[in-house]
């Protein structure tokens, strides 16, 4: 079983790490190529390109200038312990047993606008580049075009046709994968909460639930559909009644 999650805009580089192990990103050359393009852009151009404030643009201009894959270890940190959004709070990798961190390294993949594809312990440097950013890279009109074949081919190389592929990423990031070309069966869990008497997908809660689902699958060495629908955390449970497609199981609370 393989899983994909989205990265996070929020980063942390000062918390104590539970492991000193770091691995090298597979697409380091490509990441350097993309950053070389970003490095040429002024803070004002970055602000317009990414729709961010002048303050954030200045910060990311500084990050782009400092980025250097050949010197990554000095200013880098394992991705799973660097991204700090809702998904990662739900996953809470810091509290995983050491053997489960190793298992996570084999099962979980993080999609990224800059790095394309990351294993949890891959060393990353501070950056901000959302997959939906309209950045032209060579003959590719955007990051989706640049990354699609690379990421899809790599995922296929890591999976068998009888494996399950669990999509816990946002639409923005999952869209970079050529889903029709994946060799494995795709399962996309949905997480819904009651609000004003109706079941809805509430972004904040759904993001955290995706992280909790990833942790559940890692901790239980999941390999089959039954392992997915057995998920019960923070009040969520599988609803057969709300599920209309077995490949999109719905969890409610």
Is position 190 within any domain?
yes
Structural domain harbouring 183: 2-12+23-252
Ranges 73-87, 115-129, 136-150, 183-197: which has the least confidence: 73-87
Is position 18 within any domain?
no
pLDDT tens for residues 38-97?
A: 999 999 999 999 999 999 999 999 999 999 887 656 679 999 999 999 999 999 999 999
3-state SS class at 234: coil
Q: In this structure, is the dihedral angle defined by the CA atoms of residues 132, 135, 141 and 147, taken in order, positive or negative? A: negative
pLDDT at 122 over 80: yes
Give the rounded percent of residues in the chain with a pLDDT score beyond 70.
98
pLDDT at 209 over 90: yes
Is position 32 within any domain?
yes
Domain count, the chain: 1
Q: CA-CA distance, 173 to 130, in Å (whole number)?
A: 8
Is position 70 within any domain?
yes
Q: CA-CA distance, 187 to 217, in Å (whole number)?
A: 13
Question: Residue 69: what pLDDT?
Answer: 84
Total-model pTM? 0.95
Is position 17 within any domain?
no
205 confidence band (pLDDT: 50, 70, 90):
very high
| Beta-ladder partners of 116 | 112
* Extended strands (E) in the chain: 2-5, 77-78, 108-112, 116-118, 123-124, 164-168, 185-187, 190-195, 198-200, 237-238, 250-252
Mean pLDDT, rounded, for 2-8: 98
Q: CA-CA distance, 138 to 119, in Å (whole number)?
A: 26
Is position 134 within any domain?
yes
Is position 158 within any domain?
yes
- For every residue of 48-73, DSSP letters joined together read HHHT--HHHHHHHHHHHHH--GGGGG
197 confidence band (pLDDT: 50, 70, 90):
confident
* Extended strands (E) in 126-175: 164-168
């Amino acid at each position: 079983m393989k899983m994909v999650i989205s990265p996070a805009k929020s980063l942390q580089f000062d918390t104590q790490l539970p492991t000193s192990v770091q691995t090298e990103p597979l697409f380091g050359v490509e990441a350097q190529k993309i950053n070389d393009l970003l490095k040429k852009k002024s803070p004002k151009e970055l602000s317009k390109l990414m729709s961010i404030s002048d303050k954030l643009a200045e910060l990311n201009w500084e990050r782009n200038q400092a980025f250097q894959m050949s010197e990554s270890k000095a200013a880098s940190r394992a991705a799973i312990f660097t991204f700090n959004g809702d998904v990662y709070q739900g996953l809470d990798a810091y509290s995983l047993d050491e053997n489960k961190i190793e298992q996570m390294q084999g099962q979980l993949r993080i999609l990224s606008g800059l790095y394309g594809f990351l294993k949890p312990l891959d060393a990353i440097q501070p950056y901000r580049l959302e997959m939906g950013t309209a950045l032209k890279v060579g003959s590719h009109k955007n990051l989706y075009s640049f990354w699609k074949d690379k990421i899809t081919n790599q995922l296929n190389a890591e999976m068998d046709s009888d494996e399950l592929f669990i999509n816990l990423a946002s639409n923005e990031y999952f869209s970079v994968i050529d889903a029709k070309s994946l060799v494995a069966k795709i399962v996309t869990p949905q997480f819904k909460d009651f609000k004003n008497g109706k079941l809805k997908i509430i972004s904040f809660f759904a993001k955290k639930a995706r992280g909790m689902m990833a942790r559940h699958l890692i901790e239980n060495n999941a390999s089959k559909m039954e392992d997915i629908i057995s998920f019960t955390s923070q009040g969520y449970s599988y609803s057969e009644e709300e599920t209309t497609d077995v490949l999109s199981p719905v969890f409610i609370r």
